[in-house]
Structures are given as C-alpha cells and as structure tokens.
Structure 1
C-alpha cells in the first residue's frame, strides 16, 4: 500500500471512529460545515465547477490540534445541502510532507486545478515552502503535479496560500508572505499556462501607504474586482489592539484600490476589518456562474484558545461561516446572506409587530430578522447585543469559554442601528447589521435548557423568526 493510500485509510478510520460521538455533541451545527472528526480550519479551493460548488478545507482528522494537514472536501448543488467527499490531498510527498496548506482552485482546460502550499519542516523546525499543483477531471479525485513555484529571494519561508485567477489572457497568483525584514506582504506572480510562473513584485506590504506596521505576516490573500475596483483580502498577523479594533489574536480585512498588473503597483486605501466578531479568519471568495462574489470564512482564529473550546472533548473543533454575497458600496464591503439560505426555513415564520419589548422561545437553529430602532437583545441568556445610541457603538458580549469572564467586540455605526439579521446554529451566531454594513461572527456555547430570545427597542418594531433545518450536512 502506498503512503498516500495509507494516510487516506487512516483518516477515514478516524471519521468512522469519532463521527458518531461528534454528531451527538449538542454544539455540532445543523447547517454550517464542520469536520466529521478532528480540527477544521481555512477554507480552500472555493469554486463552482461544472454546476457544483466545491469547498475544500484544512483538516487534521486524527485529533483536535494542528499538524500535517489534509485537504478535506465538501460539495453542494444548492449551497444548502452539502456532501462530504473523498479526501482531496494528503501530506504524502516530499514537497508537502508536513502539511498540504491553503490554496485555491481554477477551471482550466476542462480540469479542476488546485494550487496549494506544500509545507516541509525538518527535525529542528526549519521550514521549507513550495507552491504545488494538483488536478482532477471529475472534481473529486486529484493527481498531484508537483512543485510549480519555489521560494524567491527576499522572503522568509513564510510564503504561502496561493490564490490563482485569470485576468484577460494571463493567469495570476497572489501569495501571502513575510519579507526578510519580518514584515508582512502580498506578492504577485503571473503565468501564461499555469506551469511557469514569474514573480512580478510586491503587491502591498505592512508599511505601504497608507498602512503603518500592519503585521509581521500576511496570510490567505485574495485579489478580485468589485465595481471595477481591486479588492485585496488578507489576514495580517501581529496587529496590536487599538480601541475596538484588532481585538482578536489575528485579524482579517481588506484594502481597496487599483492594481497595475504589469508592475504589481497597487495604490489602495486604509485597512478595514471584514468582521467584528470573536471568531473569523482566512476568508476566501469565488465568482460563481451567476456573477456573484461569494465569500466563506473559517469561524475560528489561529492560536486563540482553540484547545479550550467545549467541543474538543467530543473529538472536533471549529466550523465554517455561511457563504455570503459581497457588495462594494462607498469604498466599503457589505456582506449579505445568500438568497439560497431561505431554503433552510421550515414552516411559517413568527411575524410580529411589537412595542418596545418582545420575548419568545427559539430553536437552536433559527433565523431572526429585526427591523426598528433596536436597543438590545439577548439570546439563550448567554449572548447580549446592545447599541449605545449616544456613542453610535454596537457591542456583542458573551462569557469567555475559557474562564467565564465577560468579553466584548464592538463596531461603530455612524448612521445608527435599524436592522439585525441573525443566524443561530447550536454553537454559533452570524449577525448581519444594517443590511451587511457590519457582521459579527462568533461561536456561542450556551448551556442547554435555555431557548429564550429577548428584544428591546425604543419604539414599535417588527420581527420575523424562522426555524431552520438541522440536517443539511451529509457525512455518513
């Protein structure tokens, strides 16, 4: 038996061993993607190919810690019902033996081609990095094609997470990197045929105008166009908290500007956080057949008390966000739940006009849509959301799952708060504020037994509540 086959067999045995326990966990999601065993992190290879959406993911199937990652695989026709697929990539070759790290997928010559970072570490922990290619004729079984990009001069081995796309008649790749001065950056490469790559230069870096000391490493970059503007998403590591900004261990955000594809010159604006919640990292987007720019992110943050999450004793940790449609308006990205999410709804909605206060019970898988002059709400007696009208600040508060101490995340809403669109799923919250002006993505480990929802407003308001499906992920 080859080493690749051995690893696949061991991973599937881990799923067989742990999944019964995993799915019985009351915190396991009903309609979000989560691992059948072990640890899930970055979304990879996010694409619609031949009518089916494919989402690959960083996966450690054997335990809830990090290590030599696989590429797990889910697929869907409708973005609601998902199917667990055969493992796409295993860390079985000399160029990826310490992990098949993050990357992306493209449709080329009728094949589904994935680019990923092969991670290699020696016994002393010294790192080597290779950008690798694998391809598939059916979207499910992949053949590795080896190394396509080696580490260029001027960068440390923290050089990873290739995102590939076609612009006009050339292929381009953006890679997250660290320069020799230990500052983060994004590097642009190009190729005529996906085989031979030329490094054009640094697209942006930690001290590029108007940035200032923006981290020691940039992970998971993604460059795309919205409304004829060039948007660079990335996840910088090493930012110090600044008031209500940058309060997670690592952040995710974007800059907006104009790229010169010949020189890699990129004039852009300031860095803006993409999500204001406790758990959100490594987002990746794709352009689907309907022309929508759809983002999906990891509902987690690296090295942020991962081992303390309450799901760890049950053999799994982390999940993905819902897919979201992106819109660019007034130099700001807005995020919206997809129309397909309406397919999750079961039965008739609770539909109430209420005066100042509304209390009810809700399912652990629920959708809540509130319109009005909103003051505060409480979910399951656990998570509080409240708006300081005088300061224009919206705050999400929860007890830390590490020590129970109250912790908060906040954002500014200069024009006030008039709508909250919330998705609840066993152990998660996704809160879309003012039609996507801001989003809070967070885990929510509420004790069993409390199913309450309390809404307070400053005047008569309107709420709709739907029960949502609880079984949309088909693993076994």
Structure 2
C-alpha cells in the first residue's frame, strides 16, 4: 500500500485535477466491497459522523472525510440529507479547511438550530511550523443555498489552561434558552475528561468546568462526547482511549460507551451512575453521534471503523462506512439499540422462511448477494442439557470460510468469530468478540448483512455487534447448526 508523506496528506483538494479525481472515483467504484445501503465515501476515508440534525423537514448528516485516499489527512465535512433515514441525498462537500483557524483540518462537531437556521460547531485544527497542534472551536451557519458561513475568530480559541491540545468534538444543544456544549479533552496529566461550556447566544462561550463522570483515571483521552436525556434519565456517551482489556470487555483498540444518571445538575456538573458500559460488542464501532427526531426518538449513528487499523480496502483508496441509524431507549439500566423502524423500507422479497425443531446442521438455499436482513429466534427447551448453536453467515460451499455466531446457553454468552471470513485483517486485536446476556432460554437476533459489514441486534437491542467483514466471491452461504434440539424460526429478506 502507498506510503503517504505529510505533504501529500495535507494537500488541498483544489491542488488535484478534475481528471485525477474522476479516475480516483472510477477506481473506487470498481471495488468488490462497496456497500449497498450504508453511507460510504465516494473516494478516500470516512470517519466520525458529524452535525447530525433534523432541520427544515430533513435529516442532515455530515461525516469526516479525507478525499484522496484511505489515510487520515486533511479533513473536510461531507454533507448528506434524508427525509426517512434510509435513502440519502448527496449534497457534496460542506466545509473545507480554508481559513487560518482550520488550515490543517475541519474536525468533528455537531449541529443545532438557532434563529430558524442550521448552525454547526466544529473543531478546526492548525499546525505550527513545529507541527504543534492548535485546536479552535468554530461556529458556522448554513445559508439558503446550502453553503456555510464561518464566524471568525473562533468561538473558543486554543485549549484552556490545564489541558493539552487534545481538545475537540463539541456537541451542542439548547436548553431553556441557553446553549451548552460538551467537548472532549485531555488534562495536562494526560488523563481524559469532558469540559462543558454555556452561551446565551452561541457566540460568546463561558467555561463551566469539567463534567464529573466519576471516572477520574479512565484512559488518556475522551472523544466525541454527547449528553442528552431519555425518559428523564441523563445519558453521557463518549469514546475513551487507553482502556485496558478486562475479560470480554474493552477488546478493541479504543472504546465507545456510556453512563446513565438519574439526574444532572448544571450547578454541579456531576453524574452519579452505576458504571461505564460499552455500547457495542463488535469489532468496528466508534465515535457515536445522536440527534432527536420530530417524534421525540433519540437516533444514533457511528463510524463503523476504528483509528490506527488497516482495512482491506485501504489499497483501493477508500475506507469505512457509517452504521445504520438506531433508536435508543433505556431498559433495566442499559441503553437499548434497535434499527430505526424506517429501515423496513429496504426489504424486497422474502427468500427464506423456516421454522421447527432442529438438532443437526441445516443449510439454507439462497443465491443472492450478501445484502439482506435476517431474523432468527431460538428457544432452548427447559430441563435439558444444551450444546451451543452456531449460525454461519458469508460461508463458502465447504463451510471452510464463514462468519460464525455462537449461542452458548450454558454460559449465557454470544460469540462472533471472523478469522475465517473472507480477507483477514486486524488479527492482532483478536478474532472473536463475546457478549454476555441476561437470559438465554430464548434468543432473538436481527442481523443486517451488507457487502462488507454485519450488524447484529441481540434480544430486541439488549446488545449489539457491529463489524466489518470482507468476504470474497462465492462466500454468501447461510447455515444453522444445533448439537441438541432447539425450536427455531428464521426469516430472511433481500434488501434494496
């Protein structure tokens, strides 16, 4: 794979000819791993979702984008809109790194509505001659023609005293006429935290202090914070970096998770909770962002990828996608994630419908591509010894290649394994991931398979696994195996 120099990473897109960009797009379009119904970049690298907002009858969603290749270079914001969270309209580049306050990248931020117009607040990075970072928090407004006006100088220039230049990712909301933002930060002692600011006009911002999440030494940096309420509870989402593995938990290079508090007082900035919980148990999930729908639902999306990992499409000059949108709720002290109900519009023909008792391996006849939704319900009969059940996706004719999901009722654990699925990658971070569920006498799985991703929702959103996979030609098979008797039903819909 090409080695990128610093100069190449930080060239402006305007420095490339239209012909070069057209040829790059054609090359990417030929990739066998392009997705069918997930948001993905036309070229280059996508990472954090940004600016997720419902405004003027549409969803607005942006993402971090380096257009020229699958590396983290000069970041832009790319803009998409939707009326239904399913079909997305390409609106093109929204923000360029074109001022002295964001010359080395337009980094992550959020959207909010003010005075009847969509505004955003983002982190603009500047590098000095010594390559020292200067982070600036900048507010911009979307105009009627879809362009953005940046309000300069920055709303918050540089990093506050006592904190390093790792100061980024503002998430803004309005409450009782006051604007608030939470921003990821690193203390001078290199521990992660979140700072909170307030403003009467979203122009002049005052530092309120650190959000006391009761996690004083929990990683070296907290990214992409998000603070909101669900059913009277306060939820803080964030992505801590530098957490060591702990049993089945914290297996990825970096984590994303949350705490839930009964109350959050602005005068104390304190969250009392029962502990940090990971939001996803899969291989590739990071940098969440949420927005509120007109009917009051809290909708989440995330980057289906991770920093500092090489993916098989890197050599094709593109990388990553976003997760499907998910509805959040709270049940028994946990965040529940379900695919948004609008996604049913993706269904075409139902090509598999099977049910009954099973105590052997059953191969399901399907000739379609890896582009489907699958629902599996498994019930383990009472008072019996049970062998684990396996569901194999993306399998070849011999079952040598496969993505395996194992349900073990003896341990209440669900394990996914991708080491034998298509092109192997990131194996230094492990090839299995495991989730423990409360009860396993009956298990429900809802699975969305796309060309190069698998999203699994367990027991109506009690848990999720989000993973990239890169199956090769002919790896589209499906089988279910039970070593002891189970009662099951399996339904599969091809997706548009």
**Aligned pairs (5 A) from 1:188-227:** 188-204=196-212, 208=214, 211=215, 213-227=217-231
**SS class of match (2:32):** coil
Matched, 1:24 2:30: yes
> Aligned ranges for residues 117-266 of structure 1 at < 5 Å?
117-138=123-144, 140-146=146-152, 147-150=154-157, 151-204=159-212, 208=214, 211=215, 213-257=217-261, 258-266=263-271
Q: CA deviation at 1:14?
A: 5.8
Deviation at 1:460, TM superposition (A): 2.2
Q: Are residue 64 (structure 1) and residue 70 (structure 2) matched?
A: yes
The whole-number CA distance in structure 1 between the counterparts of 2:446 and 2:82 is: 24
For 2:212, what is the secondary structure of its paired residue?
Answer: strand
Range moving further from structure 2, 251-260 or 368-377? 368-377
Structure 2 residue runs of 5 or longer lacking an equivalent are 1-11, 381-388, 396-401
Aligned-pair CA distance for 1:15: 4.7
Partner of 2:404: 384
1:456 alignment counterpart:
481
**Residues 54-91 of structure 1: CA deviation (Å, up to 9, x unaligned):** 11000000111111200011111121111221211111
| Cα distance in 2 between the residues matched to 1:125 and 1:241 | 32
Work out whether 1:85 is the aligned partner of 2:94: no
Give the corresponding residue for 1:474.
none
Query: Which sits farther off after the overlay, 70-79 or 17-26?
Result: 17-26
Q: How does 1:346-365 map to 2 (within 5 A)?
A: 346-356=348-358, 357-360=361-364, 361=366, 362-365=368-371
Residues 451 and 129 of structure 1: is their aligned pair in 2 closer, same or farther, counting only changes over 3 Å? same
Contact 2:13 2:67 in 1 (8 A): no
Deviations 1:238-277 (A, max 9, x none): 0011111101000000011121113322223300000000
Cα pair distance change 1:218/1:11, threshold 3 Å: farther
Q: How far is 1:349 from its partner?
A: 4.7
**Greater displacement, 39-48 / 394-403:** 394-403
Change (3 A) 1:189 1:413: same
Q: CA deviation at 1:123?
A: 3.3
Question: Could you tell me how far apart the structure 1 residues matched to 2:145 and 2:54 are?
Answer: 10
Choose the corresponding residue for 1:50, options 49, 52, 56: 56
CA contact (8 A) 1:385 1:395 kept: yes
For the aligned residue pairs, the C-alpha RMSD in angstroms reads 1.9
Answer with 1 or 2: which has the greater Rg. 2
* Distance in 2 (alpha carbons) for counterparts of 1:116 and 1:431: 31
Please give the alpha-carbon distance, in whole angstroms, between the structure 2 residues aligned to 1:237 and 1:166.
Answer: 28
SS at the partner of 1:152?
coil
Structure 2 residue corresponding to 1:444, chosen from 458, 469, 484: 469
Indicate which of 411, 416, 425 corresponds to 1:402: 425
Distance 1:139 1:274, change over 3 A: farther
Q: Number of matched residues?
A: 458
Question: What's the CA shift for 1:97?
Answer: 0.8
Distance of aligned partners of 1:128 and 1:335 in 2 relative to their CA distance in 1, 3 Å threshold: same
Does residue 342 (structure 1) correspond to residue 344 (structure 2)? The answer is: yes
Alpha-carbon shift at residue 403 of structure 1 (Å): 7.3
Paired residue secondary structure (1:85): strand
CA deviations 1:20-76 (Å, max 9, x no partner) are 222221211000000000000000001111111111000000111111200011111
Task: Check conservation: 1:112, 1:139, Cα contact below 8 A.
Answer: no
Secondary structure of the corresponding residue to residue 344 of structure 2: helix
1:281 shift after superposition:
0.2
Q: Does 1:299 align with 2:304?
A: yes
Normalising by structure 2, report the TM-score.
0.89
Give the 3-state SS of the residue equivalent to 1:120 in structure 2.
Answer: strand
Deviation at 1:229, TM superposition (A): 0.6
Sort the Cα spacing of 1:11 and 1:237 in 2 relative to 1 into closer, same or farther, 3 A: farther
Contact 1:177 1:184 (C-alpha < 8 Å) held by counterparts: yes
